Structure 1
Amino acid sequence: MSNPFLAADTGRIRLCGHRGHNVSAPENTFAAFRAAHELGASSLEIDTVLTADGQIVVIHDLLVDRTSNGTGAVKDLTLAQIQALDAGAWFDPIFAGERMPTLGETIALAHELDMVLEVEIKEKVHLDRYVSALQTALADPRDLARVMMISFDHANLKAVKAAIPSIRTGGIVHEKFPDTVAVARISDLDELCIDLDVFDPTGAEQLHAASIAIRCHAYSPSTWDKARKSGLNWNETLPQYLRAGLIDTLSGDDVEWLKDFIDTAGA
């Protein structure tokens, strides 16, 4: 079966909006997701946490304070309470009324827009309950096919795959390793999510030889400006990686800006 997260299978590099196109719309909202799609993204990276009544909602933090007009921990609020919050006005008054979607609602949007999802597990309190809710949310094979579950905690991903054997999982890494394939294999991962700062082309070739997908996170223009001032030459290396077919998904905060790298690289 074709793997929608491997460029070798789809014939294209996926452009991924990190929390949506979050430079022009409030992160992890439909407004940011639709903006990413309109700019050419075919993938979304989203973050998820469990509510008090066992529902998976799309939010980066364990607290609602930063990205809504509410306060408190997601774990202490019901879905109804969370979706009554304004998740847009903090970013700009024009987004007043945006709310935090559920994972199920975001999957439905992914079907509508023909996108795939990289779903990060941010839950840290009730992982068992989260996995149970995930089994329910992904009961339909059509939904499961659009999802890659990702996390910094590779042990948690292995536990998720034990509970849902057909699920795809991707481990986030911020370091270089002497054997990247071994890192993926030990946790039964289908993808490694690698920051551009530690991207290793030799390791990428080895991952692809093992049919393991690669998502490269390329940050935002402001981060690139700091890197340039520090003497890093990402403007040269990223196009090289793209032309060489070493990246399956390119993700970042500014979808429009990233798309130029794919287009100018001829990838």
Structure 2
Amino acid sequence: MSYVPLASAAGRVHVCAHRGHSIGAPENTLPALVEAAKRGATVAEIDVVLTADDEVVLLHDEILDRTTSGKGRAAALTLAEIRALDAGAWFSPAFAGTRVPTLAEALAEARRHGMGLLVEIKERQRAARMIERLAAVLTAERAAGDVLVISFDHVSLVEMRRRLPEARTELITHARHVDIRAVAERAGAASVAIEADMFHPDDGRALHDAGVAVRVTLPRPDRIAARLAYGLDIEGPIREALGHGLIDVLAGDDTDHIAGLVTAYGRLG
């Protein structure tokens, strides 16, 4: 399996499950990936941090409190200690006993379901060590073609490609850049991620002209509806952009909703 982010090259607009199907299963767990695949996801975005013994595990936060039964920093516990925690009961009793997976396990699960992975670096304190370990895991698992390594820290992504030249990267942005194409090209990125309320069609065209994919993330449907009730239509422009082939990957917590939009409006650029 190889993940091809550009819709024109992949032959489809990708459905991306944000932290897996995180509206229906505990985020960044294997059940969340399985649920995403069942609902039509072709790629899932996951987050990674390091344990005390330098293992790469799926967690959005560097602090364990929110999504596990543990407390404190993930970096203070070994993999064995983190594996002893419950990473599902916080979400629902039905998921009690769910464990924090390693990146290698997530790669294997994604492969079983034919999904790519977007691996976001959330490790802040030891970013350089994380890059070393990511390169090692992707090499050992022969998975460089299955993933994009993504981050808000664009400098780290340049370093990732220096350490592992076959790695592909995605820049995450929360602002409009004067020349987004130049930003992507200077970083050697394969894709750029843009929040829905910051996406502009001109940026989509500029990136496509450079052969760079465009990923847009939508909020959950209830949050979209809450804004629409006050006249703020965040989804309408994204439906239009999908129809014009300006979005390659549409992401969100609710995989069913994202898949429905891609089926109804997605066009190849």
TM-score category, normalised to shorter length: over 0.9
Are residue 6 (structure 1) and residue 31 (structure 2) matched?
Answer: no
Alpha-carbon offset, residue 179 of structure 1: 1.1
Alpha-carbon offset, residue 126 of structure 1: 1.1
Look up the match of 2:26: 26
Alpha-carbon offset, residue 249 of structure 1: 0.7
1:85-234 alignment, distance < 5 Å:
85-140=85-140, 142-234=142-234
State the one-letter code of the partner of 1:80. Answer: A
Alpha-carbon offset, residue 62 of structure 1: 0.3
Identity of aligned residues (%): 41
Instruction: Determine if contact 2:41/2:255 at 8 Å carries over to the other structure.
Output: yes
Cα deviation 1:10-67 (Å, max 9, x = unaligned): 1101101100111111111111111111011011000000110010000000011110
* Number of residue pairs aligned between Structure 1 and Structure 2: 266
Look up the match of 1:56: 56
Instruction: Determine if contact 1:3/1:9 at 8 Å carries over to the other structure.
Output: no
Alpha-carbon offset, residue 193 of structure 1: 0.4
Instruction: Determine if contact 2:19/2:45 at 8 Å carries over to the other structure.
Output: yes
State the one-letter code of the partner of 2:97. Answer: G
Counterpart-to-counterpart distance in 2, 1:235 and 1:156: 32
Counterpart-to-counterpart distance in 1, 2:55 and 2:236: 44
Instruction: Determine if contact 1:195/1:217 at 8 Å carries over to the other structure.
Output: yes
Cα deviation 1:156-188 (Å, max 9, x = unaligned): 111111111111111111111221101212222
Instruction: Determine if contact 2:22/2:32 at 8 Å carries over to the other structure.
Output: yes
- TM-score, normalised via structure 1 length: 0.96
Alpha-carbon offset, residue 140 of structure 1: 4.6
Structure 1, 174-183 or 226-235: larger mean CA deviation: 226-235
State the one-letter code of the partner of 1:27. Answer: E
Alpha-carbon offset, residue 141 of structure 1: 7.4
Instruction: Determine if contact 2:135/2:160 at 8 Å carries over to the other structure.
Output: no
Q: Please, what is the CA RMSD of the aligned residues?
A: 1.4
- TM-score, normalised via structure 2 length: 0.95
Alpha-carbon offset, residue 189 of structure 1: 1.5
Structure 2 gaps, min length 5 = none
For residue 139 of structure 2, give the secondary structure of its aligned residue in structure 1.
coil
Structure 1, 183-192 or 9-18: larger mean CA deviation: 183-192
